[in-house]
């Protein structure tokens, strides 16, 4: 029997994805890419995530890391690797398929869809999808996904300043309530930037 079959495959998928996210956060994009490639290989080899709620939740994290690496390539004015793009789309398809059978997965699938719209340059579609994430998350009481949708909406420069301010205030409230200190600090910084921009326009 292979070393990482069955449950061990799923456990390894969870660990690899978490390490990939951690490496991305500290700026080790190359190391993050290596980890997500190994995690994706496990899914492609047939790792069964459906029976493990944590694994399904981590599938969203995998898609988020993939789209973040895609976005990083665009910022650096280089085309993303085809394999990276293909795997980001595949992660969304798998999550969306699970969401059709389990409604509690829907906010994560929608949020990942919004990330894909963003990296493809479809700002209007991203905004509409993020708003839908907020609606579904509120109905299902999944605050951890609502808060990241609120944060992304606050970053949408095309939205009116007052709309962005409301989203960032809600994000700050939720991050504080959940004890997400790293994200809370960044949300507060964005809130100050939005407020300063609003004051600047009112004085112009």
**pLDDT the model gives residue 185:** 95
Question: How much is the mean pLDDT over the chain?
Answer: 91
**Structural domain total, the chain:** 1
How many angstroms separate the CA atoms of 65 and 19, rounded? 11
* 69 within some domain: yes
63-76 confidence digits (pLDDT tens)? 999 999 999 999 99
Which residue range(s) make up the domain with 35? 1-101
Residue 4 pLDDT greater than 60, yes or no: no
**pLDDT the model gives residue 119:** 95
Q: DSSP character for 80?
A: P
**Which pTM was predicted?**
0.87
Q: Within a 10 A sphere around the Cβ of 129, how many other Cβ atoms?
A: 21
* 20 within some domain: yes
165-181 confidence digits (pLDDT tens)? 999 999 999 999 999 99
Give the CA angle between residues 79, 183, 98 to the nearest 5°: 65
Burial status of residue 33 (CB atoms within 10 A of its CB: 0-12, 13-18, 19 or more)? buried
Q: Between residues 7 and 154, which one has the greater pLDDT? A: 154
How many angstroms separate the CA atoms of 22 and 141, rounded? 26
* 128 within some domain: no
Q: Based on C-alpha coordinates, what's the Rg of the chain?
A: 18
């Amino acid at each position: 029997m292979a070393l990482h079959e069955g449950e061990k495959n799923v456990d390894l998928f969870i660990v690899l994805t978490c390490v990939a996210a951690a490496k991305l956060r500290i700026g080790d994009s190359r190391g993050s890419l290596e980890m997500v490639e190994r995690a994706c290989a496990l899914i492609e080899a047939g790792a069964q995530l459906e029976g493990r709620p944590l694994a399904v939740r981590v599938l969203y994290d995998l898609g988020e890391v993939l789209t973040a690496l895609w976005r990083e390539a665009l910022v650096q004015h280089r085309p993303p690797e085809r394999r990276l793009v293909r795997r980001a789309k595949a992660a969304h398809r798998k999550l969306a398929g699970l969401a059709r059978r389990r409604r509690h997965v829907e906010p994560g699938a929608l949020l990942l869809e919004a990330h894909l719209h963003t990296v493809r340059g479809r700002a209007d579609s991203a905004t509409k999808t993020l708003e839908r994430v907020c609606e579904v998350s509120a109905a299902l009481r999944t605050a951890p996904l609502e808060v990241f949708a609120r944060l992304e909406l606050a970053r949408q420069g095309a939205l009116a300043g007052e709309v962005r301010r409301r989203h960032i205030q809600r994000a700050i409230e939720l991050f504080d309530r959940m004890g997400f200190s790293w994200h809370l600090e960044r949300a507060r910084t964005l809130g100050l930037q939005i407020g300063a921009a609003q004051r600047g326009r009112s004085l112009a």
